[in-house]
Amino acid sequence: MDSPFLIIMIIIEVSGAINAFIANLKGFNPILWFFTAGILGLIVVALLPSAKKEEEGTEEYNHRRAKANWWGFAILIFAAVSI
């Protein structure tokens, strides 16, 4: 393996882990957000309003969670198409 390739893969994995961690704290799907690795995913997950655990089961919680996971899926598709 080339060194630059390995470094890029490590950066992608670390940024994916950071995105997943933030998503989990906000009540979003961490697995989906792991695959949005990169600066775009980080910016979006950081700016989205939290779906707080105290509100779990309410309409507002479900709406915020669904909206955030939709954005994560959209970024994932965008990244896949871009590559």
If you count them, how many residues does the chain have? 83
Q: Has this prediction a pTM greater than 0.95?
A: no
Taking residues 12-40, report their average pLDDT. 91
For 37-50, what is the mean pLDDT?
A: 89
Res 30: pLDDT = 93
Q: Band of the pLDDT at 31, cuts 50, 70, 90?
A: very high
Eight-state DSSP code of residue 20: H
Residue 54: is its pLDDT beyond 80? Answer: no
Q: How confident is the model at residue 1 (pLDDT cuts 50, 70, 90)?
A: low
* Integer Cα distance of 5 and 15 in angstroms: 15
Task: Report in angstroms the alpha-carbon separations of 54 from 19, 45, 68, 77.
Answer: 22, 19, 17, 31
